[in-house]
Amino acid sequence: MKAVICTQYGSPEVLQTKEVEKPKPKDNEVLIKIYATTAHIGDTRIRRADPFLVRFIFGLFKPKKNLILGLEISGVVESVGKDIKTFRKGDNVFALTGFGLGGYAEYCCLPEKVKEGTQQRKGLVALKPGNLTFEQAATIPAGGLTALKNLQKANIRKGDKILINGASGSLGTYAIQLAKYYGADVTAVCRAENFELVKSIGADKVIDYTKEDFIQKQVKYDIVYDAVMKLKASKSRKILKNKGVFLNNSRLPKIKEEDLLFLKNLIEKNNLKPIMDRTYSIEEIVEAHRYVDKGHKKGNVAVTIFDE
């Protein structure tokens, strides 16, 4: 099968398409024909070895042999192992691939079930929301779950005031919608050109970070969520209430199967939707990474592997 291999750490050009062996599912695994994946910020950070800790996981001097990136996917179950009970051939699914990655390929294998609390490491598969395309569904498992686990960590509740820094990106657009679902008052920090977007998905107030320093404003928040990890916790204290919570995607609660099913339910009830910026073909993966590296994407960048 064809797969995009990360051959070195560095610029998008280190991604190269090669022929590799098609995986075979174990007794507890499903083989998924991947229709779509994403150019996720997590994939770009692994490619750049940023932070340096990436090297201790995926290879110190260069990536391990045939490292296939791709944190999240959607596709169709091609075949199942003999112990599989939840899925069957032909099911449309979406999945978090875990530390095994593997989304930048035509096929991958993932376990049907894993031990509670290990989903982020070993992967998580669920039936795809029926009202999304494969490209849309592929953007949910990493981005949507990260935003959800952040808000769960803060124990967000009705009436809370939350400021979301990086509100127009993947995590930010999910966080806005989830915060509104929980009944919070949302202040979105982004460029003025994205005000209309963030307001359309629920932002109550907006701040253009290129013109205003939101840290210097006199408003206090119950939660400050730095979705783009550019704000120091110590600095955020200036705008947090006494028992306020600062979030920045670190030390999150462990992902559970029920979390992905919760997002699926919200999507099917039209309480949550993925914001799509661009869609590339897998042959354009270098261009997709180059675009994400610029740091100004709106919502999500999907990558098509097989046409729906």
CATH topology of domain 2-139+274-304: Quinone Oxidoreductase; Chain A, domain 1 (3.90.180)
Cβ(28)–Cβ(113) under 8 Å? Answer: yes
Of 257, 285, 287, 300, the closest CA to residue 133 belongs to 300
Write out the CATH class of domain 145-247: alpha beta
Q: What's the pLDDT at 29?
A: 95
Domain borders along the chain are 2-139+274-304, 145-247
Q: Name residues of the chain where pLDDT drops below 70.
A: 308
For 90, residues 6+ apart whose C-beta sits below 8 A from its C-beta are 76, 77
Q: What's the pLDDT at 187?
A: 97
Q: What's the pLDDT at 118?
A: 84
- What CA–CA distance (Å, rounded) separates 94 from 34? 9
